[in-house]
Amino acid sequence: MKYEREKPGDVVFNLEYNAERTPLIIPEYGRHLQKLIDQATAIEDRNERNKAAKYIIQVMGSLNPHLRDVPDFQHKLWDQLFIMSDFRIEVDSPYPIPSREVLRLRPDPLAYPQNFPKYRFYGNNIQYMINVAISWEDSELKDALIKVIANHMKKSYLSWNKDTVTDAVIFEHLYEMSNGTINLIESREELLGTTEIMRTNKKTSNKLNQQPQQQPQYQKKNQNNNKKPFKKKN
């Protein structure tokens, strides 16, 4: 047939706007693939419909050629075919056909632990350590653990509060967090010095903030160009 030039008015009348189109179920595949699936769904002959479905699977796999021959990926493509057809297409699938009910299933929400400590700068781990120390029997090992906990509390306090703190304040907090079980208020125990802890915290923060600086490429080229050529001695 001889080509007949279309009229401008008819072309404008047949334009489609996204606001008038049906929303895409899986937008990653685009509008053309969605139309192919809709056309395959409308085919009455089952054999022809199966051929069209296999062709559509090949097109979907060509969009990800590095995963096209993976068995699990083929299963995913067939599932997406049924999902994009709104579960209306009836074809012979080599995998179990998904259902709308299974797709709508949602996992149960996770119950996150809700802890609201009074002294948040110590963290929850300190409270766990204190509870472990309370459960131990009186011994030298328990005294050593309590001392480690107190020093760590002082370190955490100085990490978030850039100020000096006395050992008496740490002992009072430890007494309060242990519900009066651990009492070092009247003891002669001495913790690490504030200056030493602040110096350690500063070194740790500097190491975390330091990033390796790469030399620009143009400087490397200039350095190579500035090298003097090797002259062979006679």
The number of folded domains in the chain is 2
The dihedral built from the CA positions of residue 102, 106, 108 and 112, taken in this order, carries a sign that is positive
Same domain, 126 and 75: no
Same domain, 184 and 127: yes
8 part of a folded domain: no
Q: Please give the chain's pLDDT, 234 residues, in tens.
A: 566 777 777 767 767 777 778 889 999 899 999 999 999 999 999 999 999 999 999 999 888 887 766 778 889 999 999 999 999 999 999 999 988 888 888 888 888 776 777 788 888 888 889 999 999 988 999 989 999 999 888 888 888 776 778 888 888 999 999 988 888 888 877 888 777 777 766 666 655 556 555 555 555 555 555 555 545 554
86 part of a folded domain: yes
* Integer-rounded Cα radius of gyration of the chain: 36
Give me 110's structure tokens.
């996770």
Same domain, 98 and 30: yes
Q: What is the pLDDT of residue 67?
A: 76
210 part of a folded domain: no
181 part of a folded domain: yes
Same domain, 74 and 144: no
Same domain, 193 and 129: yes
74 part of a folded domain: yes
67 part of a folded domain: yes
Q: In which domain, by residue range, is 131 found?
A: 120-198
Same domain, 33 and 65: yes
Same domain, 29 and 92: yes
C-alpha distances out from residue 5 to 98, 100, 225, Å: 47, 46, 65
- From CA 182, how far away is CA 170, in angstroms rounded? 12
DSSP string, 112-167: ------S-GGG-HHHHHHHHHHHHSPSSHHHHHHHHHHHHHHHHHHHHHS-S---H
Same domain, 83 and 142: no
89 part of a folded domain: yes
Please provide the distance, in angstroms rounded to a whole number, between the alpha carbons at the two ends of the chain: 87
Same domain, 187 and 161: yes
Are the beta carbons of 97 and 82 closer than 8 angstroms?
yes
Question: Looking at 72, 103, 134, which one is the last position of a domain?
Answer: 103
Question: Looking at 103, 134, 168, which one is the last position of a domain?
Answer: 103
Are the beta carbons of 175 and 185 closer than 8 angstroms?
yes
Same domain, 164 and 94: no
Question: Would you say the pTM of this structure is higher than 0.85?
Answer: no
Same domain, 91 and 129: no
Cα 200 to the center of its chain, rounded Å: 31
